[in-house]
Structure 1
């Protein structure tokens, strides 16, 4: 019998990044493709100790509240409230199974089929998957070195386009690596208030700055901002702890859908995460270590890429996060075609086309510097240079 699926499956495709994780599992391939923290930087011993403490409480292995462990929501409300500069009620916080689930639930709450969603281009692939599954009408505005082009967004709005949602990765953008400038944050918030759309501010990388912290969140300036973040990049992906906060009615709607999605999160990992995030002295030292080590890796990658390609490529100005965006000046090259040759030479990346909506990003690629030590990154760039030459000659 033929398989008949729902209409929401039409046009969906697998994430290029998740597919690459399978492709590059070979031990001889250095993967600069996935956005994976280095396991050596994950505080496994501290997680083990907190797990032992949590397991002394029978509640840690029981069902919990759909919105998340109250202690964890208290901690998150305090931390996020400090960022946005106003008190945040724990009732405005929902803990999710990673920030990706938060994004998925928000799409279900806020979007009907054919509703307009504006994204940045290049766009976060996880957001594109979610909005395509929601059958949204996806429009794109460009990014530059100061983040989302809010002038282009305003022109879109003045032309009569009425989005329901505008999505932004405000800090150390995935994949572009840029930070949304302070004045653009205020302008985006003002546009949301004027035109009545929701802003989803996706911020899993904001605490991984190398020199100076990013500007205040977009949520500082408007109540029409739903802010997402995660413990995956600063503690451990396996905890699967993300969160959203914002308008109480939106949070209540998310809770209602989450009841049908997974009933509740893990009481055990919520207890572990709450303990680690509330230990301010330990967390400050841990974050300083991450910033120092990832900063050194970013400099190693950008230096090696510049040495390898010279004027043949331009790089994003990496000031935090996990990614470097590379654009070849020869716009005849297609990095999707380059990728198989690169894998043959023992290195992998994500082609720019994986992040595209309408623009031609074929001459670009994304590199992740977080997973590998400096010497490995330098060697990977040499392999990429060899692959580039071999591909050009072929």
Structure 2
């Protein structure tokens, strides 16, 4: 037998994706009528500003081709840093935001850099629960002890976290999506934002505020970012993946001064710099007069209509079988399976056979804390498609013999 090296110990904590396994199984025997997705949290093709991107690309290649096709500074394109800094100076009230900003290859890279710089094996990392699965996997690679704090209708239960801190828990970081969380759709209440900053200051941990959906609010009033009241205790993560296009792979972080240079050096070892062409393209889009505001307004209308269609279909067709609290923005609805004797994974498999992908709730917890919950994304299907998808889930319940 040929000798081979042992895998790194950290690979023992890498979990396969239940969603990917379900999709792979469906690919082997495609369901009749094709597969409709309530699973992936992706922007739909009709949300992409194709015409504007094409025009911006032409301008970049005409006026700045040599710079756009060359390496760029590790920190990011200076023009993009200025634009993001100006935005954050208003929304986050950050002093000297440009001196805190780092462009990343999507916010996923930002999570990896934070884990790399901050976490040693055995360190404690607190996450909201349910949590964004990408964050769980990014942090788990650095072998911390991950502690899950439950989410309710007002977001992460900061009173529960305070109890754990008083009992001796000492995390290095606390990760959450404060606005329209992936997967729960919940928004952290204002009082809890203030409490979390106070806890971070008292107990000396870093808040990682991931905010890919905050500008996709379609009802209710905006809340101030956590970073606006605790800049030295918060890393704020932003992304243009949901606001413009994921294929650009442009995210950014705003870090406390004491952490910033370490993150820059870690990025140098990872990729040297983010894509120069994508950054120049984004600068062209953002500096086109009134373009971004109009584009955002269109996205909010699109997602509001889709959220309303999904919620209405669930209430009209699956009452007593699935129930959830409508979100005020974002892309996700978190629902509970109410039919007795059926768990989320069983329903997900039955739904896949009927041609609909959904994500079982245990995907969003390292301790499988959500056996009866599902994440439904309303982003990929139009309102008529969402109604059809809900009808198929009803058929899946019928296949399982559920009352209703």
TM-fit CA distance, 1:391: 1.9
Residues 38 and 371, structure 1, Cα contact 8 Å, conserved in 2: yes
Which consecutive residues of structure 1, in runs of 5 or more, have no partner in the other structure?
A: none
TM-fit CA distance, 1:85: 2.1
- 1:234 alignment counterpart: 243
Superposed CA deviations along residues 166-216 of structure 1, whole A, max 9, x for unmatched, are 001000000000110011101000100111000000010000000234310
- 2:356 alignment counterpart: 347
Q: Find 2:258's aligned residue among 249, 259, 279.
A: 249
Superposed CA deviations along residues 131-189 of structure 1, whole A, max 9, x for unmatched, are 21110100011101110100000001000000000001000000000110011101000
Structure 1 range deviating more: 84-93 or 46-55: 84-93
Q: Find 1:42's aligned residue among 43, 48, 55.
A: 48
- 2:392 alignment counterpart: 383
Q: Find 1:64's aligned residue among 53, 65, 72.
A: 72
TM-fit CA distance, 1:316: 2.1
Aligned residue pairs: how many? Answer: 394
SS of alignment partner, residue 75 of structure 2:
coil
TM-fit CA distance, 1:16: 3.8
Q: Find 1:133's aligned residue among 132, 138, 141.
A: 141
Map 1:310-349 to 2 at 5 A: 310-330=319-339, 332-349=341-358
TM-fit CA distance, 1:284: 0.8
Structure 1 residues 16 and 75: CA distance shift in structure 2, 3 A: farther
SS of alignment partner, residue 384 of structure 1:
helix
- Structure-2 separation of matches of 1:284 and 1:322: 19
Residues 316 and 324, structure 1, Cα contact 8 Å, conserved in 2: yes
- 2:317 alignment counterpart: 308
Map 1:6-85 to 2 at 5 A: 6-17=8-19, 28-56=34-62, 57=64, 58-85=66-93
Root mean square deviation, CA, Å: 1.7
- Structure-2 separation of matches of 1:315 and 1:211: 17
Structure 1 residues 19 and 276: CA distance shift in structure 2, 3 A: farther
TM-fit CA distance, 1:293: 1.0
Map 1:99-248 to 2 at 5 A: 99-222=107-230, 223-248=232-257
TM-fit CA distance, 1:3: 4.9
- Structure-1 separation of matches of 2:207 and 2:250: 22
Structure 1 residues 230 and 391: CA distance shift in structure 2, 3 A: same
TM-fit CA distance, 1:79: 0.8
- Structure-2 separation of matches of 1:262 and 1:316: 41
- Structure-2 separation of matches of 1:15 and 1:90: 37
- Structure-2 separation of matches of 1:249 and 1:148: 26
Superposed CA deviations along residues 251-276 of structure 1, whole A, max 9, x for unmatched, are 21111111111111111100111222
Residues 332 and 363, structure 1, Cα contact 8 Å, conserved in 2: no
State whether structure 2 residue 358 is matched by structure 1 residue 356.
no
SS of alignment partner, residue 310 of structure 1:
coil
- Structure-1 separation of matches of 2:90 and 2:21: 38
- Structure-2 separation of matches of 1:101 and 1:295: 29
- Structure-1 separation of matches of 2:334 and 2:165: 28
SS of alignment partner, residue 50 of structure 1:
helix
TM-fit CA distance, 1:15: 3.6
Which consecutive residues of structure 2, in runs of 5 or more, have no partner in the other structure?
A: none
Q: Find 1:367's aligned residue among 351, 366, 376.
A: 376
Residues 130 and 151, structure 2, Cα contact 8 Å, conserved in 1: yes
Structure 1 residues 103 and 275: CA distance shift in structure 2, 3 A: same
- Structure-1 separation of matches of 2:186 and 2:341: 25
- 1:91 alignment counterpart: 99
TM-fit CA distance, 1:331: 5.8
Structure 1 residues 371 and 303: CA distance shift in structure 2, 3 A: same
Normalised to the residue count of structure 1, the TM-score between the two structures is 0.96
